[in-house]
């Protein structure tokens, strides 16, 4: 009973990392518009070091994930990310001795000397942890709103063979996990208990299960090869089974992403997105244009979440976009 419960929890945990079709506004976006939104989010998180920009981006991404009905999935991402962030917060002040504001200094240690913990190093570690959280939630958002087959279908128009390789690679782990789960359930229905017996017996049971998985994988690969041959793959120009329509909603979201990208480029050129941590903390509002620039960057990225809210509540808007 306990093993079944653990397996169920593990399956639920793994399912949260895969795309699930829910008929949401953000999932209906053209893959080009959705990927552009993700890339702009990722670009500004990687380029900007100002704490206000990182915090603002985190809030906007959370708002977009909420619009994509992904808060439950986000919890599973944060379970892993928060431990890494805590590790960064703990290690960075010990290895980074820069900064003028000393909070704590250790006694003299052999080989290492005196270790100093500075306020600047602590806050720098916090900012880097926030950046890491941003990256994690961006990938969570990607898995929530971008269907892997649709994005690969878009790429395949220009490079169909690399797209096929990517498609097969991205499907590998989910398909293997599902097959392994089915094989395990079939074995348990036949009375096989994977948690009972000595270590040697349990290894033997798992080995038999892996043998079945290997045979099943080989059969699947043969079926894929036969399907490719039946569809005359590589014999000529590729036909397109499904075309993604570019609708007004896609244009609005794409325009918002491009506007934010332009504002981000302006911030980079005018050094509005950077922040000085060492040797002494700089002022958060050293430049009067920082806050308006932050608002401009985030306003365009907030547009998809606002449109999603209106799409769910206004029938007229839903019909028009």
Give the model confidence (pLDDT) of 90-133 as tens digits.
888 888 878 888 888 878 777 767 778 898 889 999 999 999 99
Confidence of residue 2 (pLDDT cuts 50, 70, 90): very low
User: For residue 6, is it within any domain?
Assistant: no
User: Average pLDDT, stretch 153-157?
Assistant: 78
Does residue 171 sit in the same domain as residue 260? no
User: For residue 89, is it within any domain?
Assistant: yes
pLDDT > 90 fraction of the chain, expressed in percent and rounded: 31
Please tell me which residue, 61 or 172, carries the higher pLDDT value. 61
User: Average pLDDT, stretch 11-30?
Assistant: 77
User: Average pLDDT, stretch 136-146?
Assistant: 91
Does residue 45 sit in the same domain as residue 118? yes
Does residue 95 sit in the same domain as residue 30? yes
Does residue 164 sit in the same domain as residue 141? no
Tokens of 221: 């690969």
Measure CA of the first residue to CA of the last residue in the chain; give whole Å.
50
Helix/strand/coil for 54: helix
Residue 33: how many CB atoms within 10 A of its CB?
Answer: 22
User: For residue 16, is it within any domain?
Assistant: no
Does residue 29 sit in the same domain as residue 101? yes
pLDDT (0 to 100) of residue 15: 62
Does residue 136 sit in the same domain as residue 210? no
Does residue 132 sit in the same domain as residue 261? yes
Q: How many domains are there within the chain?
A: 2
User: For residue 101, is it within any domain?
Assistant: yes
Query: Is the CB of residue 51 less than 8 Å from the CB of residue 127?
Result: yes
User: Average pLDDT, stretch 184-190?
Assistant: 85
User: For residue 72, is it within any domain?
Assistant: yes
User: For residue 91, is it within any domain?
Assistant: yes
User: For residue 4, is it within any domain?
Assistant: no
Does residue 57 sit in the same domain as residue 138? yes
Residues 6+ apart with CB under 8 A from 193: none
Does residue 218 sit in the same domain as residue 283? no
Phi-psi region of 102 (alpha: psi -120 to 50; beta: other; left: phi over 0): beta
User: Average pLDDT, stretch 304-318?
Assistant: 90
Does residue 40 sit in the same domain as residue 169? no
**What angle, rounded to 10 degrees, do the helices at 31-47 and 148-156 form?**
100
Q: Final residue of a domain: which of 166, 201, 230?
A: 230
Q: Is the pLDDT of residue 13 over 60?
A: no
Mean pLDDT of the chain: 84
Q: Final residue of a domain: which of 230, 263, 279?
A: 230
Q: What is the pLDDT of residues 52-99, one digit of tens each?
A: 899 999 999 999 999 999 888 888 888 888 998 999 888 888 888 788
Q: Final residue of a domain: which of 230, 263, 288?
A: 230
Q: Round to whole Å and give the CA distance between 62 and 309.
A: 14
Q: Is the pLDDT of residue 167 over 80?
A: no
User: For residue 17, is it within any domain?
Assistant: no
Does residue 137 sit in the same domain as residue 222? no
User: Average pLDDT, stretch 269-289?
Assistant: 84
pLDDT (0 to 100) of residue 9: 46
Tokens of 263: 């504002």
pLDDT (0 to 100) of residue 1: 46
The residue behind tokens 């439950």 is: 72
pLDDT (0 to 100) of residue 43: 93
pLDDT (0 to 100) of residue 301: 94
Q: Nearest-CA neighbor of 62 among 136, 153, 150, 170?
A: 136
Q: Is the pLDDT of residue 8 over 60?
A: no
Does residue 78 sit in the same domain as residue 222? no
Sequence-ordered strand ranges (E) for the chain: 102-105, 116-118
For residue 131, what are the domain limits?
Answer: 24-147+244-320
Distances (CA, A) of 164 to 20, 121, 205: 21, 46, 35
């Amino acid at each position: 009973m306990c093993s079944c419960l653990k397996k169920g929890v593990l399956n639920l945990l793994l399912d949260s990392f895969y795309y699930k079709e829910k008929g949401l506004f953000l999932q209906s976006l053209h893959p080009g518009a959705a990927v552009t939104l993700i890339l702009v989010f990722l670009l500004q998180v990687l380029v900007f070091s100002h704490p206000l920009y990182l915090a603002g981006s985190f809030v906007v991404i959370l708002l977009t994930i909420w619009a994509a009905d992904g808060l439950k999935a986000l919890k599973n991402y944060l379970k892993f990310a928060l431990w890494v962030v805590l590790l960064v917060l703990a290690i960075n002040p010990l290895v980074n001795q820069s900064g003028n504001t000393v909070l704590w200094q250790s006694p003299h240690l052999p080989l290492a000397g005196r270790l100093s913990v500075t306020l600047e190093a602590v806050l720098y570690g916090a900012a880097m942890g926030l950046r890491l959280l941003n990256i994690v939630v961006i990938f969570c958002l990607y898995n929530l709103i971008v269907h892997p087959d649709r994005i690969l279908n878009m790429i395949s128009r220009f490079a169909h063979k690399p797209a096929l390789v990517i498609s097969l690679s991205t499907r590998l782990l989910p398909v293997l996990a599902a097959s392994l789960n089915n094989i395990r359930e079939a074995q348990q229905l036949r009375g096989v208990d994977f948690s009972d017996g000595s270590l040697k017996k349990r290894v033997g049971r798992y080995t038999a299960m892996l043998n079945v998985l290997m045979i099943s994988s080989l059969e699947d690969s043969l079926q894929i090869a036969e399907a490719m041959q039946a569809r005359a793959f590589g014999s000529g120009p590729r036909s397109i089974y499904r075309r993604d329509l570019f609708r007004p909603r896609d244009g609005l979201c794409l325009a918002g992403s491009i506007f934010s990208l332009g504002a981000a480029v302006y911030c980079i050129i005018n050094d509005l997105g950077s922040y000085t941590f060492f040797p002494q903390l700089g002022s958060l509002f050293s430049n009067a244009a920082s806050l308006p620039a932050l608002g401009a960057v985030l306003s365009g990225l907030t547009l998809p979440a606002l449109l999603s809210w209106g799409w769910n509540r206004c029938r007229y808007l839903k019909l028009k976009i």
